Chain A
Amino acid sequence: MATMDYVSTTNACKLCKPLGACLAFRGIEGAVPMLHGSQGCATYMRRYIISHFREPMDIASSSLGEKHAVFGGGPNLKQGLKNLITKFGAGMIGVASTCLTETIGDDVPMIIREFRKEMEAEGGPGLPALVSVSTPSYSGTHMEGFHSAVRAVVDQLCTPDSVGEELAGKFVNLLPGFLSPADLRHLKEIVEDFGLGWVMLPDISETLDGPALEDYEKIPAGGTPISAIKGMGQGAATLEFGHTLEGGPTAGRILFERFGVPLHQSGVPIGLRETDAFFQALEKFSGRATPKKHELERGRLVDSYVDGHKYLFGKRAVVYGEEDLVIGLTAFLAEIGVKPVLCASGGRSGKMSSCIERVTAGLLETVPRVEEGADFQKIEDLCEGLAPDLLVGHSKGYRLSKKLGAPLVRVGFPIHDRFGGQRVLHAGYRGAQMLFDSLVNAILEKTQEESPIGYGYM
């Protein structure tokens, strides 16, 4: 099929880099994310993250104006840090740069070093951890921002001379990437069921999905404790999710190179086969067999695959979103008999095609069309002739779903036209079960809606 290659982007399928960094920083205990740039960035990203999670999300800003854009933003950044420390009692501040400060060339690590010196000279109280990450939004997507922030945290806090918390017993480092709070809670449960301790970085399971409170906490409870991050060098292994990260300069790579922590990189455990791989790794690191509870969960999942096959078999799906999420979802769709016809992402790792080929090996007759750097215009153009039966992705695909008359099963981020986006479970056997049920029901609902009779027994 012939489609135009556009220079312009129409209806993007990616968000910007600093947003990912803010999300990652939010998963650290006591941390406040801060953006060095114009205050609009902080406001826009806050409102966007909040609309998905329906939780408070503070992001501070150095609030640069025209004058600072000309003369440099150092003084504003220092003043901002100081206010944040005194006003907020932040346990850590994660500073991410923006297009403004990257374009004018502010050297954030240097400004922070100066700030430390100035504060020491003032003789004030000890400073919280300060971590900086470079996130110009004119390259990469929110996912590069997310992973860069995780790497920066490990790189800057987990150094050979840092003294971490002594974790009792054997523990693994979990670097899950950007999953839902429900996913993170489930992953921790699984690891614990293997009798393993864990340090999960970042951990937004409570900080972005907290309980109703009587008294609001400025900085929400939860998140990875800083002392635990400092101790990650002692982990028995690091489990890092995301096929596109394999071989790259990741946080897990730093832990391996600096401390010799064995690095196990795998896909995001979505669907049966990718979750099997995760469980096998846990069996290896814990020396225990998969607990009965999870064996049963797996068994029920396979049972439902059999029961629901008649509804899903041969259906054609378009999958879009973050690259590693799309890879995981495609692996899942292929194993349940759905035909992924297009796998698209706004990201450009250059690795999506080969990863998808690998995770669908032996399941598909033809490798689906894979499109990196796609926007929804491109996805729409490509859909012509593909006749998809359903879409799997975030809320931004709604227009296309409406146009095609194909139901949209909402997963990932952002979900702002449905309730409970933060509780969508994708990972593990349980996540696969929920995805599977949602897909079958989306197809059933469409069949029912399209019938003029109104059959209530399907």
Chain B
Amino acid sequence: MVANKTNPATEIDSVDPNELKAELVAKYPTKVGRKRAKQIVINRVDECGEVPEMGANARTIPGIITQRGCSYAGCKGVVLGPTRDIINLTHGPIGCGFYSWLTRRNQTRPDGPEDANFMTYCFSTDLQDEDIVFGGEKKLRQAIRELYENFKPKAIGIFSTCPVGLIGDDVHAVAREMKEELGINIFGFSCEGYKGVSQSAGHHIANNGLFNHVVGLDNTPKEGKFKINLLGEYNIGGDAFEIERILEEAGITLVTTFSGNSTYDKFANSHMADLNTVMCHRSINYVAEMMEKKYGIPWIKVNFIGAASTAKTLRKIANYFEDEELIERVEKTIAEEMVEVEKVRLEVKSRCEGKTAMLFVGGSRAHHYQDLFAEIGMKTVAAGYEFAHRDDYEGRTVLPNIKVDADSRNIEELHVEPDPERYSPRKSEEALERLKAKGFRFKDYDGMMPEMESGTLIVDDISQYESEKLIEKYKPDIFCAGIKEKYAIQKKGVPMKQLHSYDSGGPYAGFKGAINFWREIDRMVNSKVWSYLKAPWQESPELTATYAWE
């Protein structure tokens, strides 16, 4: 399959999603097929916005090449990885630490040469045979002492890998003991790779740990009139820098991001914010929920991916604070930024309109990035998450109906009470009602499916084989996923954009990010490279034959 495709619109219309689903499922053994059938769903949005049930957050079938990671990856790699001044110590054999060593392309910006930055480091206890037999706690203690001696960090996080839980090392006890001994904050995460069904379990474990051990430690009031936290933003390719720029422009104070370009002190002070804004609902909603219960900080869902979405998000934040001056400043910022954005958008749209995209990535990106494509007239024909739950697909209204299975039950659900001294509702009941009456929605996420067209195909935890089939049938102009899929997709003649680590690009968030992204997509979907695939003599053999005969 090569580029130079016919009109994509007719191609998609020619794909019968029901037929395709039947074909996909039929290839599996019966039991496996039945399971996959729940995770391959044809979208149908009814007039009330209801969508079909999605089988999500279920265990991966062995032997299918899945793109999913593990609990350790979600905890250490995703949530804690982007914080620069906490020492992340992997307790286990060397591999896990090595593979999560800066590979997500999180960026950071220390305040100066004195500001600690451990992001380019990889710390491990590098467990050996004898540690597996006799236990690794002694080695862990010694490693913590050494790291303290060498780096004098403010905090150390310990991350357990598979063998740790199996040999019975108590990382939490060691953390308590060493905290006492060294006088710095030390905390452990039981994020062994076999816990939960994907990295999603690790996100939850990380959220719990941060909330228990770091959030709320520093009550210093933060300067600023409109103070927010940004949750579920990891500064891949510099996304956080762009968002920080926009917020500053608009006069909004960012207390901390969880966890792009973040520091330990900012986390400790984060409960002093007056609003939590949530980007990646999947990985961080737990902290938002817990902070609301304990400190009275409301949370709202936002999205800085896409120029229109960024504008919408800024307006939403301004409306929350109900401040005329802020609303005005936000409008001014949007108006200024949109000049360049619109110019590029229209130019790129002229070349990309009508083309199609597929997104199979993350727990929010497969949803958020559809906005960016829509703005340049590209349609998302199929999408799915790697590790999301039903609420990320169908919206939070399904939360009460989600069955809790054994895998999820194994991840601790913290019981949170309002803090006796520090609980303070940021909005009065009256103010909340007033906002709600104006259509303002708190702690709400509609999910991906209600915003996608009926007839599009939604596939959870897509396997290599399924993506190949989808590409064959839909012939999309671009496929978005991660580095694991990248080169296989490209060998099928389809451009592939990494939305985990952005290839070597970014930022793609905010206004400037949108421009970057569109330029990149324009370059990719209109590339001539696929036309070089055949040598001239392969292209028209009759011509070569003629020459030979002559």
Give the chain B neighbours of A457 by CB distance below 8 A.
none
B193 to chain A, nearest CB (A): 4
Q: A100 — which chain B residues lie within 8 A by C-beta?
A: 162-163, 166, 193-194
Residue from the list B59, B98, B123 in contact with A63, Cβ < 8 A: B59
Instruction: Report A-chain residues with C-beta under 8 Å of the C-beta of B407.
Output: 65-66
Binds B, one of A15-23, A272-280, A326-334, A431-439: A15-23
- Closest chain A residue to B468 by CB distance? A216
Residue B94 CB within 8 A of the other chain: yes
A83 partner residues in chain B, CB cutoff 8 A: 28-29, 32, 61-64
| B406 nearest in chain A by CB position | A67
A41 close to B (CB within 8 Å)? yes
Render B151-162 as a binary contact track against A, CB cut-off 8 A, 1 for contact.
000000000011
- In the complex, residue of chain B having the shortest beta-carbon distance to the beta carbon of A11: B122
Please indicate the chain A residues that have their CB under 8 angstroms from the CB of B64 in the complex: 60, 83, 87
- Known contacts: A65-B407, A103-B167. The answer to whether A44 contacts B65 by CB under 8 A is no
A10 within 8 A of B: yes
A40 at the interface (CB under 8 A from B): yes
Point out the residues of chain B lying under 8 angstroms from A103, CB to CB: 132, 162-163, 166-167
Stretch from B142-150, B263-271, B396-404 that touches the partner: B142-150
Q: Which of A164-172, A207-215, A363-371 contacts B (4 or more CB under 8 A)?
A: A207-215
Interface residue B482 (Cβ < 8 Å from any Cβ of A): yes
B39 to A: closest C-beta gap in Å:
15
26 A-B pairs with CB atoms under 8 Å apart are A4-B146, A9-B94, A12-B124, A14-B94, A15-B99, A39-B193, A44-B99, A45-B95, A47-B483, A50-B484, A57-B484, A61-B66, A62-B63, A77-B62, A79-B63, A80-B63, A99-B162, A100-B166, A103-B163, A103-B166, A137-B95, A138-B129, A213-B491, A213-B492, A214-B533, A216-B491
| B194 lies within 8 A of A64 (CB) | yes
| Contact in complex: A44, B63 (CB < 8 Å) | no
A41 to B97, CA, bound (A): 11
Q: Which A residues lie within 8 Å of B92 (CB)?
A: 99
Q: Does B120 contact A (CB under 8 A)?
A: yes
Q: Is A305 located at the chain interface by the 8 A CB criterion?
A: no
**Do the beta carbons of B99 and A9 come within 8 Å of each other?**
no
When A and B form their complex, which 6 residue pairs have the shortest distance between CB atoms, in order from nearest?
A: A40-B70, A16-B95, A80-B63, A80-B62, A83-B63, A8-B143
Interface check B197, CB cutoff 8 A: yes
- A258 within 8 Å of B (CB atoms): no
A141 surroundings in chain B (CB, below 8 A): 94
Known contacts A43-B70, A100-B163, A216-B492; is A34 also within 8 Å of B63 by CB? yes
Chain A minimum-CB-distance residue to B70: A40
Q: Is B465 a contact of A87 with CB atoms below 8 Å?
A: yes
Q: Which of A18, A41, A58, A65 contacts B59 (CB 8 A)?
A: A65
- Whether A138 and B163, one on each chain, are in contact in the complex, defined by CB atoms closer than 8 angstroms, is yes
- Is B1 an interface position by the 8 A CB rule? yes
Cβ distance B479 to chain A, nearest Cβ, rounded Å: 12
Q: Size of chain A's interface in residues, with CB distance under 8 A?
A: 78
B195, CB-defined interface residue at 8 Å = yes
In the complex, A451 has a CB within 8 A of chain B: no
Selected from A12, A56, A63, the residue in CB contact (under 8 A) with B61 is: A63
The closest CB in chain A to the CB of B123 belongs to A10
B442 contacts across to A, CB distance below 8 A:
none
CB within 8 Å of B: which A36-57 residues? 37-48, 50-51, 54-57
Flag whether A81 is at the interface (Cβ < 8 A): yes
CB within 8 Å for A12 and B73 given contacts A6-B146, A50-B484, A214-B493: no
What chain A residues lie within 8 Å of B122 (beta carbons)?
A: 10-12
Interface residues of B (CB under 8 A from A): 1-2, 27-29, 32, 59-73, 89, 92-101, 103, 120-129, 131-132, 139, 142-143, 146-147, 150, 161-163, 165-167, 192-199, 406-407, 410, 464-465, 468, 482-484, 486-493, 533
**Chain B residue nearest to A59 in the complex (CB):** B65
A68 interface contact, C-beta 8 A: yes
Residues A63 and B62 in contact in the complex (CB < 8 Å), given A99-B92, A139-B128: yes
In this complex, which of B94, B95, B139, B533 has the most chain A Cβ atoms within 10 angstroms of its Cβ? B95
Q: Does A458 contact B (CB under 8 A)?
A: no
Additional pairs, 20, CB under 8 Å, beyond known A15-B95, A65-B407, A68-B194: A4-B146, A8-B89, A10-B147, A11-B121, A37-B162, A38-B70, A39-B69, A47-B99, A47-B103, A57-B484, A66-B194, A69-B162, A99-B162, A103-B132, A103-B163, A104-B166, A136-B93, A141-B94, A215-B492, A377-B150
Chain B nearest CB: distance from A58 CB in Å? Answer: 5
Nearest residue (CB) in A for B129 is A139
Residues of B within 8 A of A38 (CB): 70, 162, 192-194
Question: Cβ of B486: which chain A residues have Cβ within 8 Å of it?
Answer: 50
Please pick, from B97, B131, B194, the residue contacting A138 in the complex, using a CB distance under 8 A.
B131
- Asked if B123 and A16 make an inter-chain contact with CB atoms under 8 angstroms apart, the answer reads no
Bitwise interface map of A from 328 to 347 toward B, beta carbon under 8 Å scored 1, else 0:
00000000000000000010
Which of chain B's residues have a CB closer than 8 A to the CB of A17?
Answer: 95
Q: Is the CB of A10 within 8 A of B121?
A: yes
Q: With A50-B487, A65-B59 in contact, do A7 and B146 touch (Cβ < 8 Å)?
A: yes
CA distance A138 to B143 in the complex (A): 16
A399 adjacent to B120 (CB under 8 Å): yes
Cα of A106 to Cα of B121 in the assembled complex, Å = 34
CB closest chain-B residue, reference A15: B98
* A187 and B367 alpha carbons, distance in the complex (Å): 48
Query: Nearest chain A CB to B110's CB is how many angstroms away?
Result: 15
CB distance from B135 to the nearest CB of A (A): 12
Knowing A83-B63, A214-B493 touch, does A19 contact B147 (C-beta < 8 A)?
no
Query: Given A137-B94, A399-B120: A7 and B62 within 8 A (CB)?
Result: no
Closest chain A CB from B248 CB (angstroms): 30
In the complex, A136→B62 CA distance in Å?
Answer: 20
